[in-house]
Structures are given as structure tokens and as C-alpha cells.
Amino acid sequence: MTDLYEQWREIRDILDRGRKATGHFAIASVDSDGVPNITPVGTVFLREDRTAFYFDQYTSALARNLDTNPRVCLMAVDRGTLFWFRSLLVGRFAAAPGVRLYGTAGTLRPATDLELAQVRRRVRPMRFLRGGRLLWSNFSHVRDITFTSSRLVRYPMMMAHLPQTDSVPFHDPEV
Ligand SMILES: Cc1cc2nc3c(=O)[nH]c(=O)nc-3n(C[C@H](O)[C@H](O)[C@H](O)COP(=O)(O)O)c2cc1C
């Protein structure tokens, strides 16, 4: 139980670093013919129980794909200058530079007051700018994602000291 908790904490840390460095998560989905699509989504919020929600306001192919196939892969990569400078200087990554999470997205639902407060807090510094108001004043609906497994992004030479497990399934979503 502690291992799963610790593992999710490490994954969230990588995801947070990736989001802060790039401003978004990449969400991959497939259409009914199996054609892949990747959508940038900045408003993903991760919960303790290996689920997440994101504000689905502007997506088109992603929303369409989820109607026929709810399976998604979410990726974040830390391309922050400081992280890379430190890592290249010492010749190893202190933690993986990125991670993929695999899961299933839910249907569109109205956001709760708590979720609206969370997104307002995240975009607050930009809401005073004209574009910030245009983009982020009207968020109203979210989708949940339940994750079932994860895979680290590897850059082998600089990660030999880190665990070498590939795909990690999440067995107990209640923990
Ligand atoms: C950095 C970034 C973050 C974004 N975040 C969101 C978001 O949180 N929610 C949303 O609905 N659209 C968001 N968008 C807009 C969608 O990614 C955009 O409308 C995209 O073209 C939809 O792609 P799709 O056709 O693959 O769904 C974001 C765009 C960018 C560039």
C-alpha cells in the first residue's frame, strides 16, 4: 500500500514538473478507425486516488474520440531548463524526465464548485490579461480519468540508477 502511495506521489511529481515546464499535458486518443490524435490540455488536476479531471471546453477530436473509445494516454515531459542543466551537468536524471499514464475517460459533466475554484486558482495570475480572460473565464464542464497503469519516459544512459520496471499496473484504485 505504501509502495503504491509512494509510486503515485513520484508520478504526480513528474507530471507537475512537466506541466509547469510546458503548460500542458498531452492526451492521446484514437478514433473509431484507430487513427491516433494528441491534444494539449492544461487544466488536468490529479487526485490522490490515481484519478484526475480536466476541463473539457475547447477540444473537438478528443471529445469526439472519447464518445467511441474512452481510452486515453496522458503524457507530461519536464523540459525545464534548470532540470535539464542540472541533469546534464551531473550526467544523470534525479527522476525520470517524463511519464505516461494510461486510463479511461468519463463522460462530460458539470464541474463542481471545488473544481471551479481549483481551475480559477491555477489561471489566476493570467486572468488579468485580456487573453487570459478570453480563454479561462468560462470553464464549466469536466471529464474524469481513471488511470490503470503508468510508464516512465526513459533516456537510458542517464537513468541506469533508477528502477528499470517498464509498465506499472495500478491494482487498487481505492488506495
Ligand atoms: C497549452 C494549451 C492548453 C490547453 N488546455 C486546454 C484545456 O485545458 N481544456 C480545453 O478544453 N482546451 C484546451 N486547449 C485547447 C485545445 O487543445 C485545442 O482546442 C485543440 O485544438 C483541441 O484539439 P482536438 O481537436 O485534438 O481535441 C489548450 C491548448 C493549448 C495550446
Per the confidence metrics, is the pTM higher than 0.85?
A: yes
Phi/psi of residue 63, nearest 5 degrees: -60, -40
Residue 137, Cα to own-chain centre: how many angstroms?
Answer: 22
User: What pLDDT does 171 receive?
Assistant: 72
> Is the shortest distance between the CB of 41 and ligand 1 below 6 Å?
yes
Average pLDDT over the chain, rounded to an integer? 92
**Ligand 1: which residue has its CA nearest to atom 16?**
59
The backbone torsions φ and ψ at residue 161, rounded to the nearest 5 degrees and listed phi first, read -80, -10
pLDDT at 16 over 90: yes
> At a CB cut-off of 8 Å and minimum separation 6, what does 78 contact?
14, 17, 18, 21, 84, 97, 98
pLDDT, tens digit, 9 for 90 and up, residues 27-80: 999 999 999 999 999 999 999 999 999 999 999 999 999 999 999 999 999 999
CA neighbor of 70 nearest in space, from 101, 32, 99: 32
> What domains appear along the chain, each with residue ranges and CATH number?
4-165 (2.30.110.10)
In this structure, what DSSP letter does residue 174 have? T
Q: Dump pLDDT digits (tens) for 68-125.
A: 999 999 999 999 999 999 999 999 999 999 999 999 999 999 999 999 999 999 998 8
Spacing, Cα 131 to ligand 1 middle (Å): 15
**pLDDT value of position 2:** 52
pLDDT above 60 (res 173): no
Asked whether residue 172 carries a pLDDT value surpassing 80, the answer given is no
Neighbouring C-beta atoms of residue 68, cutoff 10 Å: 11
Once rounded to an integer, what is the mean pLDDT over residues 133-138?
Answer: 90
The CA distance from 125 to 23, in Å, is 13
Residue 5 alpha carbon to ligand 1 centre in Å:
30
Asked if 26 and 75 touch (Cβ cutoff 8 Å), the reply is: yes
Judge whether residue 15 has pLDDT over 70.
Answer: yes
Rounded to the nearest whole angstrom, what is the distance from the C-alpha of residue 38 to the centroid of ligand 1? 10
Grid coordinates in use for 5?
502511495
